[in-house]
Amino acid sequence: MDLDGFMSDVTRRNPGEPEFHQAVREFVEKVLPVVTADERYVRARILERMVEPDRVIMFRVVWEDDDGAIQVNRGYRVQFNNAIGPYKGGLRFDPSVNLSILKFLGFEQTFKNSLTTLPMGGGKGGADFDPKGRSDDEVMRFCQSFMTGLARYIGKDVDIPAGDIGVGSREVGYLFGQYKRIQNEWSGALTGKGPAYGGSPLRTEATGYGCVYFAREILARADEVLEGKTCTISGSGNVAQYTAEKLIEMGARVVTLSDRHGFVHDPGGMTLEKVRWVEELKTVRHGGLEEYAREWGAAFHARETPWSVPCDLAFPCATQNELDVDDARTLIANGCRLVSEGANMPVTYEASKVFEAARVSHAPGKAANAGGVAISGLEMAQNAMRMSWTREEVDERLRAIMRQIHERCVEHGYGSDGWVDYVRGANVAGFLKVADAMLAFGVV
């Protein structure tokens, strides 16, 4: 079995799904030596089985907008793999959502969840709905119709969705309310819930905080610290906000944030006050970052990404394929030594090779952003126990989980030249647990 042969089968069987092909290629390339070295994996055709989702659910979502016009969207849930626990993963509401994107995300989620050390399988869902410019009432009606279609397929021991792009606490509230109404049962079938109704402390912050904790672990191996480091961040949503907050708390200098319209460059460094202002801008007023430039006297660069700004550490926290080969070369030329992915697959396949060749520490999303789903796992545990832990307890567990993920990545990614291939480490460590569970089940 060779990579190109394997990939030509995957491409043939999944036509027109470039993001899914990309995620599979990156994974298979790194785990193939482990698979071919173990006859049990080869005989069981474990890789061929892993790239095939357990099932894909697609459904019509019809709702009425504020003008009384009927709107039609498409809803999805990809239940990718439940070998080690119930399907778990976010919901994305964005006009770009399609099957390729959700299959790539569900595939990644399977190995990310395996890395968290918690018993969770992988899934992902969403809709091609654009919440931008929609009233609260419209978002509520959309969420209710979406959940009416989805409710029969999920449940606390079956499949537990959460947020992702375009799905934050407002949407989870509407989704959970409708789920509860349909099932006539309070159960933790969604995570990312509000504090009043079963949400875990720190779930909102967990992805961004975890991404910074992971970067700290990488630096610690080289006896370095975050304090004083200049950091670029893309995105200005949930993950970007809390990545920025934790970096600032730890004494780093955050100089950029971005959105769909461009990026803001604040060379003096952002403050916690400015980041909280961004949170209000994005979650309450749904405004654009050019307002930041006016409010705080910084520069706004329309239609550009932040990777031209010199930095020590880069945190891509917006979306897939937002950092390409030219960006990677520019970052390296400007002295960047570490990339920690808050987003899922933000670095193109080719850009990833550029980082590898230059021996940049490149923490892939399935390791670096696993803190979010890890705290979702702790939310499920708290719901099942009918109790809740304190913020401090959850933070302590989050730090410990990110430390363990880092250790597993080093264990499987350490090379003879002393450089850690975090992409290999994360993929191999994530793979092993899922593969061994699948072997144990026989031919299913």
- The residue ranges that bind ligand 2IT (CB under 6 A) are 88-90, 109, 112, 162, 164, 191, 344, 372-373, 376
Closer of 17 and 108 to ligand NDP (Cβ)? 108
The single residue among 114, 238, 256, 361 that binds ligand NDP, judged by CB under 6 A, is: 238
Residue 88: contacted member of ligand 2IT, ligand NDP, none (CB under 5 to 8 Å, by partner type): ligand 2IT
CA distance 178 to 105: 25
The least distance separating ligand NDP from the CB of residue 147, rounded to whole angstroms, comes to: 19
The least distance separating ligand 2IT from the CB of residue 368, rounded to whole angstroms, comes to: 11
The least distance separating ligand 2IT from the CB of residue 369, rounded to whole angstroms, comes to: 6
Residue 259: contacted member of ligand NDP, ligand 2IT, none (CB under 5 to 8 Å, by partner type): ligand NDP
Burial 403-439 (b: 16+ CB within 10 A, else e): ebbbebbbebbeeeeeebbbbbbbbbbbbbbbbebbe
Using rule CB under 6 A, residue 236 touches ligand NDP: yes
Closer of 149 and 372 to ligand NDP (Cβ)? 372
CA distance 426 to 412: 8
Cβ neighbours of 37 (radius 10 Å): 9
Active-site residue numbers? Answer: 124
The single residue among 26, 259, 312, 379 that binds ligand NDP, judged by CB under 6 A, is: 259
Cβ atoms of residues 154 and 179 within 8 Å: yes
For 172: left if phi > 0, alpha if psi spans -120 to 50, otherwise beta; the answer is alpha
Closer of 13 and 260 to ligand NDP (Cβ)? 260
The single residue among 100, 114, 178, 344 that binds ligand NDP, judged by CB under 6 A, is: 344
The least distance separating ligand 2IT from the CB of residue 253, rounded to whole angstroms, comes to: 27
Using rule CB under 6 A, residue 106 touches ligand NDP: no
Report the candidate in 13, 100, 117 with the shortest Cα–Cα distance to residue 408: 117
Kindly report the backbone phi and psi dihedral angles of residue 184, in degrees, each rounded to the nearest multiple of 5, phi listed first: 50, 45
Residue 239: alpha-carbon gap to chain centroid: 9
The least distance separating ligand 2IT from the CB of residue 393, rounded to whole angstroms, comes to: 18
Residue 191: contacted member of ligand NDP, ligand 2IT, none (CB under 5 to 8 Å, by partner type): ligand 2IT
Q: Which strands make up the sheet holding 338-340, listed edge to edge?
A: 253-254, 230-234, 313-316, 338-340, 361-363
**Can you list the positions of beta strands (E) in 24-172?**
55-64, 70-81, 87-93, 122-127, 159-162
The least distance separating ligand NDP from the CB of residue 315, rounded to whole angstroms, comes to: 11
The least distance separating ligand 2IT from the CB of residue 344, rounded to whole angstroms, comes to: 5
Using rule CB under 6 A, residue 128 touches ligand NDP: no
Using rule CB under 6 A, residue 164 touches ligand NDP: yes
For Cα atoms 331, 333, 335, give the angle at the middle one, nearest 5 degrees: 70
CA distance 415 to 311: 26
Using rule CB under 6 A, residue 342 touches ligand NDP: yes
Residue 121: contacted member of ligand NDP, ligand 2IT, none (CB under 5 to 8 Å, by partner type): none
Helix (H) or strand (E) holding 340: strand 338-340
Residue 89: contacted member of ligand 2IT, ligand NDP, none (CB under 5 to 8 Å, by partner type): ligand 2IT
Closer of 94 and 312 to ligand NDP (Cβ)? 94
3-state DSSP: the chain helix, strand, coil percent, rounded to 5? 50, 15, 30
Longest dimension (CA), the chain: 65
Query: Measured at CB, which residue is nearest to ligand 2IT?
Result: 90
For Cα atoms 314, 97, 232, give the angle at the middle one, nearest 5 degrees: 10
Closer of 47 and 128 to ligand NDP (Cβ)? 128
Residue 102: contacted member of ligand NDP, ligand 2IT, none (CB under 5 to 8 Å, by partner type): none
Using rule CB under 6 A, residue 426 touches ligand NDP: no
Using rule CB under 6 A, residue 318 touches ligand NDP: yes
Please tell me whether residue 89 adopts helix, strand or coil conformation. strand
